[in-house]
Structure 1
């Protein structure tokens, strides 16, 4: 009898969680489109991440998701786009350099260094929005702090990569999730493990709020 109660409780919690992911997915997609896609991607993604960080930090959720999402999306709109497109420009620049290196230069050392910079920029990008959402800094400082966290949080970084991989595999086996819940499924492990990394760094006085 007790096992049936536990199973029922687990099923109920799982259903609530899936419903939350679906709500976040469709609200996020709505605001991506509302922002003209190019100007909506980064603030919408940052808002989903902000939701999870709010849950982790304060152990509470907004009573009404849509009004909260709308307000938070507009609050993040300017800075999230600035940070997002600076990061995008850096990654795009390094990607072009990599293609030029592999096609024309064909120098293994240069290619290795460019690959290292390219992968580092992606990993810095993983920490960029969580850092922005947790601290009040200037734009350049967000990148510096993200770089520092990437260097000192190798276990969390590996866990993020694994979490995103697992979410992608699950979505591969259940394609309906790509439409209904994929964005929050990917953002959740990024939010959780970057939150752990920031807390760990704060306890060691590596970063300060």
Structure 2
């Protein structure tokens, strides 16, 4: 009987988690559309990571809609400003890569730019979890994300592996992307970033 109860509890927990994942994804889609996509994507994604991050803290189960809505509303301008900076850096690197490939045609310059693109990529991996955990100035979000990416290489590699696995999962089961895509991407990124932040904070205390 104990094993049956344990199985039922496990089954219930899995079902509850899946329902939560789908619900958060639906909120992300709705709030992104509410901001006409362009202005909704960044604050909705910030709210998505905030809800997930608060769930990891273990202090209390966050009121999902309330947390999502309040984060979207209060961080709307800041999230969009940071998104503009991220987009600007991405566009700058894209233009530089094309110039290097078509005009300069130098192997060393191209390799240097590829390294810079990789550094940008791993910084972005931590960007939203850092935004959800800390209250920083604009520049410090980039600096802190970059620092954590290098300070915790295990978590950074784990994030990249998760993204690769999710890419193949969504390729074979695209319905998951439609019903829970944003949450399934955010959960592993938020989890490994949370582990990285906690480890760094504990090391500073000790």
TM-score by length of 2: 0.93
Paired position in structure 2 for 1:101: 100
Q: Is the 8 A contact 1:39 1:81 kept in 2?
A: yes
Q: Is the 8 A contact 2:129 2:193 kept in 1?
A: yes
Paired position in structure 2 for 1:192: 191
Paired position in structure 2 for 1:152: 151
Q: CA RMSD in A?
A: 1.6
Paired position in structure 2 for 1:204: 203
Shift of 1:80: 1.2
- Pair 1:170-2:166 in alignment: no
Shift of 1:2: 4.1
Which sections of structure 1, spanning at least 5 residues, go unmatched? none
Paired position in structure 1 for 2:9: 9
TM-score by length of 1: 0.91
After superposition, the C-alpha distances for 1:87-115 in whole angstroms (9 at most, x for unaligned) are 11101211221122112211010001111
Q: Is the 8 A contact 1:80 1:129 kept in 2?
A: no
Q: Is the 8 A contact 2:47 2:68 kept in 1?
A: yes
- Pair 1:61-2:61 in alignment: yes
Paired position in structure 1 for 2:70: 71
Paired position in structure 1 for 2:34: 34
Paired position in structure 1 for 2:82: 83
The ranges of structure 1 where at least 4 consecutive aligned residues each deviate by more than 6 angstroms after the TM superposition are: none
After the TM superposition, which of the residue ranges 2-11 and 81-90 deviates more from structure 2?
2-11
After superposition, the C-alpha distances for 1:33-78 in whole angstroms (9 at most, x for unaligned) are 0001011111111111101110111342224x22332122111211
Q: Is the 8 A contact 2:47 2:67 kept in 1?
A: no
Which sections of structure 2, spanning at least 5 residues, go unmatched? none
Secondary structure of the 2:146 match is helix
Shift of 1:133: 2.1
After superposition, the C-alpha distances for 1:124-164 in whole angstroms (9 at most, x for unaligned) are 11112222222222101111111111111111100111122
